[in-house]
Amino acid sequence: MVKVLIVDDSAFMRNALTSMISADPEIQVIGVARDGIEAVEKVSQLKPDIVTLDVEMPRMNGIEALRQIMHNNPVPVLMVSSLTTEGAKVTLEALDIGAVDFIPKNLSDLSINIVKIKEDLIEKIKKIGRKGLPVFRKTPSAKSLQIPKASIDAAHRRVHIVAIGSSTGGPKALQNIITKLPKDFPVPILIAQHMPPNFTGPFAERLNQLSSITVKEAENGETVKKGVVYIAPGKGHMRIVRKKITETTISISESRENYIYRPSVDALILSIVENFSGHVLGVILTGLGNDGLTGMKEIKNNGGRTIAESENSCVVYGMPKAVVDAGLADKIVSVEEVAGEIINSV
């Protein structure tokens, strides 16, 4: 049984969340709190397996409460976030402090997708609550991770482009990886992270501020350049189009197509394999489900290389597990080792 503490100053949200997750017999809501002060006290008293935590609350807000919880009684926390640009910035700060993921605040406005939201929320709570906080180790800084000299010559490169897919727990994992890459990284990196539309821009900006390498939210029609990390916008699927040997551009499609998630990891990887064949490195990080499995299979079928994050550092061992179980991973490493493996592949 996964024990949950719900923290929100809105009685409607407390009731809505309680009703949604209590529908599963393997989840028990053991308490509710109306503000950050109550949250800190009840985490200490009730020892929940996981907490849902609102941001804007009286007396003590969610960010301060999160700081105290992670310092005094560390436990997996899902932030209840407004799907706005400002909400995104606060949520990213929370993820940096230690929250594992977020859920949408305006559940009442999402009635069309309520079944999907409920399923995702229940799955996140069960998998994260049972696993607990992921294990992280201190790793080398970006300055100590160097690109092998032999790989600087394009003729010796084994990989011409890197594709990364991630979902639940991905923002923190990506920060761990991208901030270790050098400014002169010799190939482009394209990332599909499952995120709402207003989140991917602030996320790219935050990564760019923290990293030596350039990071940006991808734009439709722009030319792909080496040494740049492109984050797929949450509003659509990102693909690449190779107009000629020396020019590759980005294409953003805002239609949902047949993919469950937008942006889709599979849509991105399949387009990259189509244009770069065996010179692709695919990386699958923490996340629910199996998005990216089809793409990673195509990378292997075309002679490319693949990396899957190991279970110990995943917030949710879903997407990497699908790749590992299918026998498609050349390397299975903790998130702290991914940057080094990427650097050694170019």
pLDDT in tens, 117-165: 788 889 999 999 998 888 765 555 444 455 554 444 444 458 999 999 9
Q: What is the mean pLDDT of residues 39-58?
A: 94
Q: What mean pLDDT value characterizes the chain?
A: 89
Q: What is the mean pLDDT of residues 267-296?
A: 95
Tell me the C-alpha distance between 183 and 107, whole Å.
41
Kindly name the residue from 81, 82, 166, 167 that is annotated as catalytic: 167
Give the range among 8-12, 49-53, 224-228 with minimum mean pLDDT. Answer: 8-12
| Three-state secondary-structure class, residue 5 | strand
pLDDT of residue 16: 87
Chain mean position to CA 43: 26
pLDDT over threshold 90, residue 63: yes
| Amino acid occupying residue 310 | S
What are the structural domain ranges in the chain? 2-131, 142-343
Q: Using an 8 Å Cβ cutoff, are 55 and 62 in contact?
A: yes
Q: Matching CATH topology for 2-131 and 142-343?
A: yes
Rounded to 10°, the helix 85-97/197-210 angle is: 50
pLDDT over threshold 70, residue 285: yes
CA atoms within 13 A on the CB side of 245: 0
pLDDT of residue 246: 77
Kindly name the residue from 35, 120, 194, 266 that is annotated as catalytic: 194
At the topology level, CATH places domain 2-131 in Rossmann fold (3.40.50)
Written as six digits, the tokens of 247 are 């020019």
Partnered with residue 231 across adjacent β-strands are 191, 217
Whether 8 is catalytic is no
Tell me the C-alpha distance between 172 and 93, whole Å.
10
Q: Report, in angstroms and rounded to the nearest whole number, the Rg of the chain calculated over CA atoms.
A: 20
pLDDT of residue 108: 52
Q: Please indicate, yes or no, whether the overall pTM of this predicted structure exceeds 0.85.
A: yes
The residue count for the chain: 346
pLDDT of residue 115: 65
Kindly name the residue from 8, 266, 291, 310 that is annotated as catalytic: 291
Tell me the C-alpha distance between 338 and 329, whole Å.
13
pLDDT of residue 143: 47
Strands of the sheet containing 228-231, edge to edge, are 214-217, 228-231, 189-193, 161-166, 280-284, 305-309, 331-333
Tell me the C-alpha distance between 91 and 77, whole Å.
12
DSSP H helices, 179-301, are 197-210, 265-276, 293-301
CA atoms within 13 A on the CB side of 169: 30
Query: With bands split at pLDDT 50, 70 and 90, how would you rate the model's confidence at 258?
Result: confident
CA atoms within 13 A on the CB side of 22: 12
pLDDT over threshold 90, residue 230: yes
Q: What is the mean pLDDT of residues 229-243?
A: 93
What would the CATH number be for the domain defined by 142-343?
A: 3.40.50.180
Q: Using an 8 Å Cβ cutoff, are 193 and 265 in contact?
A: no
263: preceding bond cis by omega (within 30 degrees): yes
Partnered with residue 147 across adjacent β-strands are none
What pLDDT digit, counting tens, does each position of 85-117 carry? 788 889 899 999 999 998 877 655 545 456 667
Whether 291 is catalytic is yes
Q: Using an 8 Å Cβ cutoff, are 291 and 313 in contact?
A: no
pLDDT over threshold 50, residue 248: yes
**Angle at Cα 236 formed by Cα 230 and Cα 240, nearest 5°?**
50
